Structure 1
Amino acid sequence: MFGRKKSNNNIVINGRSITVSGNNISIINDKVYVDGELVEKNLTGNVTISFEGDLARLSAEGNVSISGNVRGSAISKGYISCENVCGDIKAGGSVNCGDVSGNVQAGGSVTCEVVEGDIDAGGSINCREARGGITRRYKDH
């Protein structure tokens, strides 16, 4: 049900609000796509993107901070910060979110509420409840 229906949402890129029809975001190199449609290009420096509404899916090459839920999976080469995620999370950096229905894989630390699946982290893990397996890929000194 979520992610299939196109709806009007707002995406704010570096302070500029754009109304888009869709809810799948991809951030590739210096470009932002919503449902495969290019909405912004030639981005440089520290890029700030916020999405008003729930996302169906998120894919990014850099750090991502979303004020809302991700109804599918969230994938980023950097860190991911968001509310709840109904799918899996895979991040090259740290993860900071609410509840996760799937697995969490992070190169850095993981801070979440409830994780239904497994957690694989390169840093510390701080979750209220982890219902799956936990793997830490770092050693305490």
Structure 2
Amino acid sequence: MAHKEKNNRQERGFLRITINGKTITCSGINIVISNGKVIVDGKTIQECNSGDIKVTIEGDVNKIDCGGSVEVHGNSGSIDCGGSCEVSGDVKGDIDAGGSETCGNVSGDIDAGGSVRCRR
């Protein structure tokens, strides 16, 4: 039942965002994490401690801008992150990662400070 509920939330545009172990559920497709704030579609939804930030997103997103590392369980549009980037699905845009990058197909450019691995 929990699996069915999770899929229904994602179909209706809900995301699960985990930042340094704390999970929030919200709707939206554009995510910015900057200066200790989580901003979804232009609205601040959460404040978090600054420092090393590890973000995990469950669901499809349009754009991600994050100073730390990001992991997406779904598809994504453009990604700009200061750390490593891992996407289980495809990226329909550019990736600019300060660390390594792992994802499915990418329709845009990749700029990574570390290794790049694209799964097929």
* Same structural fold, with TM-score higher than 0.5 when normalized by the shorter chain: yes
Who wins on radius of gyration, i.e. which is larger? 1
Who is 1:95 aligned against?
101
* Higher strand proportion: 2
* Higher helix proportion: 2
Aligned pair count reads: 108
1:86: how far off? 0.7
Q: TM-score, normalised by structure 2?
A: 0.76
Q: Aligned equivalents of 1:112 and 1:28: distance in 2?
A: 27
Matches within 5 A, 1:41-52: 41-44=47-50, 46-52=52-58
Look up the SS of the partner of 2:119 in the other structure. strand
Q: 2:80 aligns with which of 52, 61, 75?
A: 75
Give the structure, 1 or 2, with the largest relative contact order (CA under 8 Å, sep 6 or more).
2
Q: Residues 21-53 of structure 1, C-alpha deviation per residue, up to 9 Å, x if partnerless?
A: 211111113221111211221324554432221
1:68: how far off? 1.5
Query: RMSD of the alignment, in Å?
Result: 2.0
CA separation of 1:9 and 1:75: change in aligned 2, threshold 3 A: same
Q: Aligned equivalents of 2:65 and 2:102: distance in 1?
A: 16
Please tell me the residue identity of whatever aligns with 1:40. Q
Gap runs ≥5 in structure 1 = 1-5, 115-141
Q: Aligned equivalents of 1:113 and 1:79: distance in 2?
A: 16
Q: TM-score, normalised by structure 1?
A: 0.66
Paired-residue identity, %:
44
Moved segments of 4+, more than 6 Å: none
Gap runs ≥5 in structure 2 = 1-11
